[in-house]
Amino acid sequence: MNSSFIVANWKSNKTLFEAEEWIKKFNANGENIVICVPFTLLSAFNQPPLNLGAQDVSMFDQGAYTGEVSAVQIKEFADWVIIGHSERRNYFNETDDMLQKKVEQAKKVGLKIIYCVPDATTFIPSGLDVVAYEPIWAIGTGESDTPENAETICGQIKQKSGTAQVIYGGSVTNENVASFVTQPHIDGVLVGSVSLEPRKFAALVANAQ
Ligand code: PGA
Catalytic residue among 87, 94, 134, 151: 134
C-alpha of residue 98 to centroid of ligand 1, in Å:
22
SS (H, E, C) 22-76: HHHHCCCCCCCEEEECCHHHHCCCCCCCCEEEECCCCCCCCCCCCCCCCHHHHHC
Over residues 108-156, the pLDDT tens digits come to 999 999 999 999 999 999 999 999 999 999 999 999 999 999 999 999 9
Q: How confident is the model at residue 5 (pLDDT cuts 50, 70, 90)?
A: very high
More confident residue, 191 or 47: 191
Q: Is 86 in the pocket of ligand 1 (CB under 6 A)?
A: no
Residue 87 CA: which ligand 1 atom is closest?
Answer: 8
8 Å CB contact between 14 and 196: yes
Name the burial class of residue 115, with classes exposed (0-12), middle (13-18) and buried (19+) by CB atoms within 10 angstroms of its CB.
Answer: buried
8 Å CB contact between 42 and 74: yes
Angle at 59 between CA 53 and CA 60, to 5 degrees: 115
Q: State percent of the chain over pLDDT 90.
A: 90
pTM of the model: 0.96
Q: Which of 136, 194, 188 is nearest to 164 (CA)?
A: 188
Residue 194 CA: which ligand 1 atom is closest?
Answer: 3
pLDDT for 164: 84
pLDDT for 2: 53
> Is 134 an active-site residue?
yes
Residue 138 CA: which ligand 1 atom is closest?
Answer: 5
Over residues 61-96, the pLDDT tens digits come to 999 999 999 999 999 999 999 999 999 999 999 999
Q: Which of 137, 115, 138 is nearest to 128 (CA)?
A: 115
Q: How confident is the model at residue 1 (pLDDT cuts 50, 70, 90)?
A: very low
Q: Is the pLDDT of residue 21 over 80?
A: yes
